[in-house]
A = this chain, B = another copy of it.
Amino acid sequence: MSKGDALRDRTAAAIVDSAAASLAERGRIVSMNEVARAAGVSRATLYRYFPNREALLRAMATTGVEELAARVADADLQGLPVDQAIARLVRGFIAVGSKYVALSAGQASTDDHPDVDALLTEPVRDLFRRGIADGVLRPGLAPELLTELLSGLVKAALGMVADGQLGAEEAAAGVVAVFLDGARAGTRSPEPARSSRAR
C-alpha cells in the first residue's frame, strides 16, 4: 500500500509542478483542461486528484509552503544572528518563488491553511520577536506587521524576477537591504555594496 501511495503522491506532485509551471508561464488564466493536458494526464484524473480548482491551488500553495518550510527548518534560524537569518530567509523565499508567485497573485486564498501559519508565519514571527528581544530589531514595529511587510517586499521582488527585470540574487539583496536598513542614506550601509546591481 505504501507503494500505491507513493505513486499517488508522485503523480500528484507532477500535476502540481506542471500546473505551477503553466500558471507561472501564462497569465493566471489556465483552464483545468490545459492544466490536465500540460500534466500529461486526463481531465478525469486531474479531478480525481484534486476535486476542484481551488483544491489544486491549495495543493500548490501547500507544496510551496512545505518546500519553503523545509528551507526554513534547514536554515537553522535560531542558530544565526537575526539579520543573517532574515537574509537567508529572504533568499529562500525568492528561490522558491516560481511557485510562490502564482499564489501571491491572489489565486489561492491561503486562508484556512493551518500549514502556512504553523510552518512559515510562526517561525518568521518568532524570528522577529527574537530580533526585538535581542535589540537587533527596533521595538516600535509589531512582529505581525513586520511579517506582512517582508512578505510584501518579497512578492514585489518576485514580480520583478518573473518579469526578467532582476536576477534572483539582486532581488533578494535589495529586499534585505531595504527591510533591514531602509532606503535612507546613512552611516550603516556596508551591505548595499553587495546588493545594487539592478539593470
> Which residues of A are interface residues toward B (Cβ below 8 A)?
27-28, 83, 105-107, 109, 128, 131, 135-142, 144-146, 148-149, 151-157, 159-160, 165-166, 170-171, 174-175, 177-189, 192-193, 195-199
Residues of B close to A185: CB separation below 8 A: 135-139
How many copies make up the complex? Answer: 4
> B146 and A157: CB pair below 8 A?
no
Residues of B close to A154: CB separation below 8 A: 152
- Of the candidates B136, B156, B175, the one whose C-beta lies within 8 Å of that of A184 is B136
Closest partner residue, chain B, to A143 (CB atom): B198
> A156 and B165: CB pair below 8 A?
no
Residues of B close to A188: CB separation below 8 A: 184, 186-188
Closest partner residue, chain B, to A105 (CB atom): B106
A171 to B197, CA, bound (A): 29
CB distance from A178 to the nearest CB of B (A): 5
Closest partner residue, chain B, to A128 (CB atom): B183
Provide 26 A-B residue pairs closer than 8 Å at the C-beta atoms, listed in order of the A residue.
Answer: A106-B106, A106-B107, A138-B186, A140-B192, A141-B195, A142-B199, A144-B165, A145-B157, A145-B160, A145-B166, A145-B171, A145-B198, A146-B183, A148-B156, A148-B157, A149-B174, A152-B152, A152-B153, A152-B157, A177-B182, A178-B178, A179-B183, A181-B182, A181-B184, A181-B186, A187-B188
